Amino acid sequence: MKISIILPTFNRSKLLTQTIKNIQNQTFEDYELIIVNDASNDETINIIKQFKAIDGRIKLIDNNKNVGCAKSREFGLKQSLGELIVFIDDDDQWDNNKLMEQYNAIMHTNSDMAISDYYIFKNKNKIHKKMNLFAQKFKKQILKRPGPFFQSIMIKKELIKKIKNPFDSESIPSEDWNFFIELSKLNPTISYIDKPLFTWNIHDENQSLNLTKEAIALDYIINKHYDYIKAEHGLKVIASHYRRIARIYEKKIDIINIKKFYTKAFQTYPVSIKNISYYIAIIIGYKHSKGIINFIRTLRRTPNA
């Protein structure tokens, strides 16, 4: 058994059949598919059992209670037999050659991990996300901002086992970023595949679209890795993370947290013109200064909140 595929799922019976068939259409066939049913109360378990009855590569883990995607991935890893691990969510799609291309990349270079580009599919539009910088300077880039998803990699299981708490439930829905920060401490060798091999489908049920949870998770991850980020990049990058959280709260018009995190950015790195500008803006009052902030972002060609 060369590859173990870990698929956590919860109440996605309408999407699960398509996802399983997508995996079965892979050109690389020497794998086991571990589906972790996270206490679904729809038709999920019946669908898994139907596929399992005709495909011996499918293994079922049936959680007694809902524990979330991070813990479910952990359960899947413990039951895995493969030397290489890949992850997929129940609403995403792989290119049919994903496993083959990533497997060959790791074998030919003896690298720890293969990473590919991916598509974001939203409102009938596909956005190509390049991962070349993360592949070239992984530690530097991953501490600056989130980038890869679990679904965009293939990784040696022995490397995951060296990570302390790789699937941290407190970091959901940004658990991917926490995982890759932890991974960067091991200085992995990386093979890069210059093409999108999976598509992240954004819809209303995506965990990452819960903005409050995302902001809380990012704050948790930054606090957790504060000393590590500071040692590698200094306080300037930490301040930029606080501004990112503030921009998330801008989307919710959460004035208290907008003020809180722009203030934290300024207090963390007060010599930055950006931090000074945002701090002045929130002192004036966000409702009055929002137009100015968005005008500045337009000039700098950065997205408005």
> Which of 112, 176, 219, 254 is an active site residue?
176
3-class DSSP state of 93: strand
Distance CA 227, CA 272 (A): 20
Of the candidates 234, 230, 236, which has an alpha carbon nearest to the alpha carbon of residue 269? 236
**Can 112 be counted among the known catalytic residues?**
no
C-alpha dihedral sign at 216, 221, 224, 228: negative
User: What sign results for the dihedral spanned by CA atoms 264, 251, 228, 131?
Assistant: negative
Strands (E), the chain: 3-9, 31-37, 58-62, 84-87, 93-94, 113-122, 125-129, 153-156, 190-201
Active site residue ranges: 176
